[in-house]
Amino acid sequence: MHQTSDSLWPFGRHDLPTGAALLNSPLLNKLTGFSEHERDNLRLRGLLPPRIFTMREQAERSLIQFRRKNSALEKYVFLTMLQNRNETLFYRLLLDHIEEMMPIIYTPTVGEACLEYSSIFRHPRGLWISIRDKGRVAEVLRNWTNHDARIIVVTDGERILGLGDLGALGMGIPIGKLALYTACAGIHPYYCLPICLDVGTDNEKLLSDPLYIGLQQQRVRGAAYDEFIEEFMQAMKLVFPKALVQFEDFGNNNAFTLLHRYQDKACCFNDDIQGTAAVALAGLISATRLTGRPLREQTLLFFGAGEAGTGIGEYFVHALMEEGVPAAEARRRCWFVDSKGLLVRERGGQLPPHKAAFVQDGKFVRTFAEAVEQVKPTAIIGVAGVGPAFTPDILRRMAALNPRPIIFALSNPTSKAECTAAEAYAATDGRCVFASGSPFAPVEYHGKTHVPGQGNNVYIFPGVGLGALASQATTVTDAMFLAAARTLAAQVTEDDLAHGLIYPHLNLIRSISMQIAVSVATEAYQRGLARRPQPKDLVADIKAQVFEPVYQDYLPLP
């Protein structure tokens, strides 16, 4: 991860490719930024236009080109192609314009990009491991060009954002997540490996699409699926023993099963469960500074009881327990509505473990509006991914129940949000504390500008990854995510709160990720989970491992 260390630079100086091979190496290519000396000695003379441009000039040109694109998807394709040509310039541009480009490389545009992935496919990136590779997964992993992967984001494409089963088209998610690891936390792109596990798809539209790039077969399930995942995890530890694995956008059942199966056996986590939970908890902690009611006095009502919702509930329970609230009392403050209605014992029926942990004593009702009336929550949290659900009537009722109701419409992409920021502020007379999963523009209401917070996992997972890798943690624990949540909440200033923000500005993301990395690494060292000895100056040690997008001088000056 040290950018300036020869032992960790992607190529030894004597192994540096030359000529066209250098220009085809995104991690090393500087395009028109190569010096005269480099052009002569690296066989580049004539392969580039004669004028030399600084990185700043290249970035200005790229920004102009980016802004000339007419649609978000066109901008996504432009950035993807830049990443495939010159990664250093790509990350310079992204880091310098993070608030403008974050919605392009990730939520919400990445959802559209995944839907169109077959038609916009230009250049392979990452590893595609299919069920047909069963029995030789380690061999496939060894085909990856960089032999020291440290952070792997993997999906099987079954539950991409709120869009459902996209199969192999889900590769856009790991690629986007890893771009954020580098931009937001400074993890060197050399160590990043996106993987799509293609086990088929149950999406009939894709199965009949002649352009679909994945296996055109029904999704493999059951024992064959479990054996394939087990082989992958074992092969990963063999080929990339220092790697952290992030599970991303697996279906609910598999997401919980895989996390419980491997959490204590490998360095891994599930961002949809743990990352979402941590960022939502941080938002709730910040919101209490606006509502004046402490965390232990909050009553949460969730719309959706999948991996995101119950993950938030578990972390909320752990946070209350850290404050001395008994576990049973903490759980009584979490209520859930799923597709069948309110989770109460009166409802009956068999429930999966993640839901059964939150079954309450109460009257069964079918609708969310009825649940609001019965539970009388201080906060409603939408994580179902089915679109508008927080109606004006529900929002007005929340405003009647609470001086400052907490409204979290966290489903992605924007089309799946439970309500818009404008709808929330209008229905609550501008009194709500609002956060969303996708970005919304500031809202003018009765002469006041409200800036909606975005409960984006990017506030959490890059810093967690950096802290785990810097300490070489053997596992990633829930305690690390709880520490990350509290650290994130502490970054919210009084000025942020004055504008209604419960998350800090994204342009501070590198500083935020550094603070979180320190808290995560501290947890690893204190609990004996680090494979590295603890340095005397932890902050300096982690900063030394951060990648900065600047060009290297490949040859000594003559």
- One-character DSSP codes across 80-122: HHHHHH-HHHHHHHHHHTHHHHHHHHSTTHHHHHHHTHHHH--
Position of tokens 């991996």? 307
Q: CA-to-CA distance for 263 and 203, rounded, in angstroms?
A: 30
d(CA 494, CA 470): 31
Distance of CA 462 to the CA centre of its chain: 8
Place 8 in a pLDDT band, splitting at 50, 70 and 90: very low
Interatomic CA distance for residues 31 and 543, integer angstroms: 28
Q: Which of 342, 344, 347, 346 is nearest to 370 (CA)?
A: 342
Answer for the pair 33, 61: CB distance below 8 angstroms, yes or no: no
Q: Fill in the amino acid letter for 402.
A: N
- The pLDDT tens digits for 158-205 are 999 878 999 999 999 999 999 999 999 999 999 999 999 999 999 999
Gap between the Cα atoms of 554 and 558, Å rounded: 12
- At a CB cut-off of 8 Å and minimum separation 6, what does 379 contact? 284, 287, 298, 299, 300, 301, 405, 406, 407, 408
For the cut 80, the answer to whether the pLDDT of residue 15 exceeds it is no
What is the C-alpha separation between 380 and 396, in angstroms, rounded?
12
Percent of the chain with pLDDT over 90: 89
- For residue 2, the model assigns a pLDDT of 40
CA distance 558 to 30: 20
3-state SS, 226-263, equals HHHHHHHHHHHHHHCCCCEEEECCCCHHHHHHHHHHHC
The string of pLDDT tens digits covering residues 80-100 is 999 999 999 999 999 999 999
Query: What was the pLDDT predicted at 9?
Result: 45
The share of the chain scoring above pLDDT 70, in percent, equals 97
Q: Are 197 and 156 in contact (CB under 8 A)?
A: yes
User: What does the alpha-carbon distance between residue 399 and residue 428 come to, in Å, rounded to a whole number?
Assistant: 5
pLDDT at 3: 41
pLDDT of res. 16: 84
Instruction: Say which residue, 11 or 262, is predicted with more confidence.
Output: 262
Q: Are strands 379-382 and 151-155 parallel, antiparallel or unpaired?
A: unpaired
Length in residues, the chain: 558
User: pLDDT class for 557, splitting at 50, 70, 90?
Assistant: low
For the cut 50, the answer to whether the pLDDT of residue 7 exceeds it is no
Q: Which of the following is catalytic: 30, 177, 355, 416? A: 177
Confidence of residue 328 (pLDDT cuts 50, 70, 90): very high
What fold does the segment set 1-53 form as a domain?
Hemocyanin, N-terminal domain (1.20.1370)
User: 481: closest CA among 496, 456, 502, 459?
Assistant: 459
**Of 482, 300, 431, whose CA–CA distance to 375 is shortest?**
300
Closest among 184, 281, 317 to 502, alpha carbons compared:
281
Tokens of 455: 């409960």
How far, in whole angstroms, is CA 522 from its chain's centroid? 22
Query: Mean pLDDT throughout 131-160?
Result: 96
Q: Count CB atoms within 10 A of the CB of residue 502.
A: 27
| Contact criterion met (CB below 8 Å) for 173 and 114 | yes
**Residue 554 structure tokens:** 């490949």
Q: Note if 106 is an active site residue.
A: yes
Residue 448, strand partner residues: 445
Measured CA distances, 184 to 244, 279, 510 (Å) = 17, 15, 5
pLDDT tens for 289-323 read 999 999 999 999 999 999 899 999 999 999 999 99
Whole-angstrom CA distances from 4 to 92, 375, 540, 550 are 17, 56, 15, 11
Q: Which of 453-457, 465-469, 536-540 has the lowest mean pLDDT?
A: 453-457
- Could you report the per-residue pLDDT of 337-391, keeping only the tens digit for each? 999 999 999 998 889 999 999 999 999 999 999 999 999 999 999 999 898 999 9
What fold, for 459-543? Rossmann fold (3.40.50)
pTM of this prediction exceeds 0.85: yes
Collapse the DSSP code of 186 into the 3-class scheme (helix H, G, I; strand E, B; otherwise coil) and give the result.
coil
Question: Which region, left, alpha or beta, applies to residue 122 given φ > 0 means left and ψ of -120 to 50 means alpha?
Answer: alpha
Peptide linkage before 452 cis (omega within 30 of 0): no
- The region of weakest confidence among 48-52, 105-109, 136-140, 183-187 is 105-109
Rounded-to-integer distance, Cα 311 and Cα 333, Å? 14
pLDDT at 1: 44
pLDDT confidence bin for 12, thresholds 50/70/90: low
Establish whether domains 68-266 and 274-455 are of one fold: yes
Average model confidence (pLDDT) across the chain: 94
Q: Are 154 and 247 in contact (CB under 8 A)?
A: yes
Active-site residue identified among 76, 91, 106, 554: 106
- Domain spans of the chain, in order of start: 1-53, 68-266, 274-455, 459-543
* HSE-up of residue 64 (Cα within 13 Å, Cβ side): 5
pLDDT for 161 equals 85
Q: State the angle between helix axes of 87-96 and 172-185 in degrees (0 to 180), rounded to the nearest 10.
A: 70
Q: How many CB atoms lie within 10 A of CB 225?
A: 17
284 vs 277: CA distance, rounded Å: 10
Q: Is 177 a catalytic residue?
A: yes
* Residue pointed to by tokens 């059951």: 222
CATH 3.40.50.10380 fits 68-266, yes or no: yes
| C-beta of residue 39 within 8 angstroms of C-beta of residue 555 | no
Find out whether 96 and 146 touch, Cβ atoms under 8 Å.
no
d(CA 383, CA 500) in angstroms, rounded, equals 21
Strands 268-270 and 300-303: unpaired
Whether domain 274-455 has CATH 3.40.50.720: yes
Judged by average pLDDT, the poorest of 5-14, 75-84, 209-218 is 5-14
Euclidean distance between CA atoms 293 and 279, whole angstroms: 19
DSSP 533: P
**How confident is the model at residue 404, as a pLDDT?**
97
